[in-house]
A and B are shown apart, each in its own frame.
Chain A
Amino acid sequence: MSSNKPHLELSSVSMQFPVKGGVFSALEDVNLKVTKGEFVSLIGHSGCGKSTVLNIIAGLLQASRGGCLLDGREVTEPGPERAVVFQNHSLMPWLTAFDNVELAVRQVFRKSMTKQERREWIAHNLELVHMGHAMDKRPDELSGGMRQRVGIARALAMQPKVLLMDEPFGALDALTRAHLQDSLMEIQRELNSTVVMITHDVDEAVLLSDRIVMMSNGPSATIGEVLPVPLERPRDRVALAECPDYNHCRQSVLRFLYEKQQKITPMPRQGEGQEAASGVDKRQKVLA
């Protein structure tokens, strides 16, 4: 938020996928400007096209029309200046946490750092996500939350201009998720990195973001509303629960999702209904 010149810009992005018997229009005319150091969340119902937007920014997908600019230059291919934290960690299962980060660090800082500097940098980033103690463990020896931490460390260690995260905490239990959210806020404040994060969790979006980008349902999904979150940082999840601004933001997002963009889902069958009632927030259930 330091300057108003757009750092990252999506301009009239449309995306069509070839499917059997024609094309499927996933995105239509998506426009978004993100400033340096800003934390933006993308929220929307499952299948609306959030991952598609993120993959276009990452360069893993090419938009059918329109395009993505980073610092005024068009994105045409993936690159380490747009690091991605994938939903299911995407660590190499045969490498230790350290070696997974090392694969990225060696690639990015091959020329600019000595071997010793790289080692220190890797250790530093793993410590940043509180994984210093488990550097020599392989992914199958780590819990889901720890793997995701390593995935984040790998992305941070690349010193990206933009950090892209696709539902990074989606598969984690509530407690682990809260821990990681706090870590992420802390790191972001320290590094002032630009973050675009996909989430399906309303509380997470409000807690972490400077702006929440709400997407309409597909096909031909686009950005419905953009909600600025005017909450002071550092934010404290416990204190925020009482804060009127926080609750107002939350309500705006919920209203968008459940009134304006109601997702027509089939009635849950008996077995599924019980599961939804067992202490899990029903609203989140529909979103997931």
Chain B
Amino acid sequence: MTQATIVASATDFVRQKAALFSPGDVLRALGMPIVGILAFLFLWHIAAQNVATSLGTLPGPADVAHQAGNLWADYQEQQQRAAEFIAMQEERNAQILANNPDAEVRIRSFSGSVTFIDQILTSLGTVMAGFLLASLIAVPLGILVGLNRHLHQAVNPVIQVFKPVSPLAWLPIVTLVVSATYTVDDPMFSKAFITSMVTVSLCSLWPTLVNTIMGVNSVSQDLRNVSQVLRLPFLTHVWKVVLPSSIPMIFTGMRMSLGIAWMVLIAAEMLAQSPGLGKFVWDEFQNGSSESLGRIMVAVIVIGMIGLLLDRGMLFLQRLLSWDKSTATH
């Protein structure tokens, strides 16, 4: 190679590199998803016009967008009324205090109607609580079971049987058990919340459990040998060798669990009539007004988007916590 050809191939290389990130490519990378979404909206628009239901034709994208606006407006109106209600009380209290400085005053909280946004927040809270409970059970249990072959053999049939059970089957049992056992005076959480949370945990802990066991089983023999040669005490062995080694698998399981938890929660809320997005969908279905279908579709889209965000959130957490960045993709 002469000097000239080296320089030529070097500039070639630079040009190729630059081409990788050219504006055209960026547009193409963003462009295709946009094209996909537009095509979907168009097909939906066409198809919806041709499906007649007892509540009128299926709403198209425009109707759904309109309903989304309505739901947002409802929420803002409620917020406004709540603010006014509080302000009114404060004003009245101020007057009472002006007349009689020793008077006892209170502010009652506003109990307006439950809006779509409230239901979203309820569902988010419940799914997080259920998922957290599931992880708190599944990860330590998975580590214990994964470390002991006999325990694994003993527990495996139980896992295999309960893993595929649908949330709808758990729900009656959980409801009855919670009603019977959760009998504290002045409870911090409602029974409906506890029931939904426990159901979500029961259904979603299996992937985390199974993956944690697999992760612990696949700790390399070499690393276990090192631990043995060092005579690491049990807890140090778990904390310093087993846990870091299986963290990529644990995260894979937790991501699957969170996905299941979100799906299960919506179904459980629908069935049990406990507050949340599921109840919103069910209420609209029962309501049967001309706006209901559109509202249900808004809920469906929101449920999907929240599911996506939860998954991305887990991925972010995995990138943050796991040493093995190569497993934390998509």
A: residues with CB less than 8 A from B are: 58-60, 77-80, 82-84, 86, 88, 90, 92-94, 103-104, 107-108, 138, 158
Q: If the complex has contacts A94-B244, A103-B230, A107-B231, are A78 and B324 also in contact, measured as CB distance less than 8 A? A: no
The 6 closest A-B pairs by CB, nearest first: A94-B323, A90-B222, A78-B228, A78-B229, A94-B244, A107-B230
Please give, as numbers and ranges, the residues of chain A lying within 8 Å of B323 by CB-CB distance: 93-94, 138
Question: Is B9 at the interface (CB under 8 A from chain A)?
Answer: no
Q: Is B232 in the interface zone, CB < 8 Å from A? A: yes
Chain B residues touching A, majority SS: helix
A-B contact pairs, 14 of them (CB 8 A): A58-B225, A58-B229, A60-B229, A77-B231, A78-B228, A83-B229, A84-B225, A90-B222, A90-B223, A92-B240, A92-B244, A103-B230, A104-B230, A158-B230
Contact residues in A for B324 (Cβ distance below 8 Å): 93-94
Taking Cβ atoms with an 8 Å cutoff, the residues of B that contact A are 220, 222-223, 225-226, 228-232, 236, 240-241, 244-245, 323-324
Cβ 8 A contact of B223, one of A59, A77, A82, A92 = A92
In the assembled complex, how far is the CB of residue B320 from the closest CB belonging to chain A, in whole angstroms? 14
A107 to B236, CA, bound (A): 10
Q: Is the Cβ of B230 less than 8 Å from the Cβ of A82?
A: no
Known: A78-B231, A94-B324, A107-B231. 9 other contacts (CB 8 A): A59-B228, A60-B228, A78-B225, A84-B226, A84-B229, A92-B226, A93-B324, A103-B240, A107-B232
Knowing A93-B323, A93-B324, A94-B324, the reply to whether A86 touches B225 (Cβ < 8 A) is: yes
Which interface residue of A60, A92, A138 has the most chain B CB atoms within 10 A? A92
A-chain residues with CB within 8 Å of residue B245 when the two chains form the complex: 92, 94
A90 touches B244 (CB 8 A): no
In whole angstroms, what is the CA distance A138 to B226 when docked? 17
Report the nearest A residue to B228, measured CB to CB.
A78
Cα distance, A79 to B227, chains bound together (Å) = 10
If A92-B241, A93-B324, A94-B244 touch, does A80 touch B226 (CB 8 Å cutoff)?
Answer: no
Decide if B231 touches A79 in the complex (CB within 8 Å). Answer: yes
Most chain B CB neighbours (cut-off 10 Å) among A82, A84, A94: A94
